[in-house]
Amino acid sequence: MAETKSNRDSHIQMEVQVHLIEYQKVRDEVVHQIGSASQSLLLSLSSASIILPILFSQLSNMPTMVLGSFLYILTIVYAVIGMHYATAPYYVNVEANYVHQNLAPKLNLRLQTTARNQVLQFENFQRGVRRNIVALYLSTAGAIATGLIILMLSLLSLLFARYVFLLPSIQSSQQSLALHYLSSFTLPLSALAWTFYVLSGLSQLLVMIYAITTGFVLPKSNKE
C-alpha cells in the first residue's frame, strides 16, 4: 500500500511539474505577443514619420502614377501590420483563457488547494475586475487606440493615393511605356488596397469583441 501511495504521489508531482512547465511556456508566449504588439505600433509610427514626408517633398518630381501606386502599396503594408497587431492581443487572450479554463483548474485539483489558496488565479482576478465597466474600458482602451492608429495610417495612405491620382497629369515622363504599363494595374491595386484595409479593420474589431466577451467568462468548476 505504501508503495502504491508513493507511486501515486510521484505521479502527481510529475503532473504538477508538467503543468508548471507548460504555464511557463504559455507565459513566455504571452510576453512575446505583448512585445510584438508594441513593435507593430512603433514600426508603424516610425516608418510613417520618415516615409510620408519624403514622399510629399518629392511630389513635384515624382511621376503621379508612381507616387499613387506606392501609396497604395503602403496602404497594404500598414494593413498587414494592423492584422499582425490584431493577432497579438488575440493570442494573448486565447493563451490567458487557456490558463484560466484548463491549466489552473487541473493544477489546483492536483495540489488539492482550498478555494482561498488556489494558484494561477490572476486571470480569474482579471475577469472579476473586468466586470466593472470602468476597469473594462481602461483595460481595452490602449489596445483599441493602438489599432485605430495603425488603421488611420493605412486610411491616410489610401486617401493620399486618391488625392495624388486626382492631380493634373502634366508630366511628360508619364507618357513613357513603363508608366503606361503601370497605369493598367492602378484599379486592381486600388481594389487590393481597400480590401486589405477592410480586412485589417475587421480583424481589429473581431479581436476587441473577443477580448471583451472573454472578460466576462465565468470560471469553470474543478471537475475531472
- Supply the angle between the helices 64-98 and 2-57 in degrees, to the nearest 10: 160
Helix (H, G, I), strand (E, B) or coil at 138: helix
Q: Global pTM?
A: 0.75
Nearest to 105 by CA among 92, 90, 124, 126: 124
Helix (H, G, I), strand (E, B) or coil at 219: coil
pLDDT digits (tens, 9 = 90+) for 10-43: 777 888 888 888 888 988 998 898 898 888 888 8
Q: Are 16 and 110 in contact, with CB atoms under 8 Å apart?
A: yes
Statement: residue 80 has pLDDT above 90: yes
Q: Which residues does 182 contact at the CB level (< 8 Å), separation at least 6?
A: 65, 66, 69
pLDDT of residue 202: 94
Statement: residue 74 has pLDDT above 80: yes
Q: What is the mean pLDDT of the chain?
A: 79
pLDDT of residue 219: 47
Q: 192 pLDDT band (50/70/90 cuts)?
A: very high
pLDDT of residue 30: 87
Nearest to 223 by CA among 104, 107, 109: 109
Q: Would you kindly state where each structural domain of the chain is located, as residue ranges? A: 2-214
Q: Which residues does 69 contact at the CB level (< 8 Å), separation at least 6?
A: 161, 182, 185, 186, 189
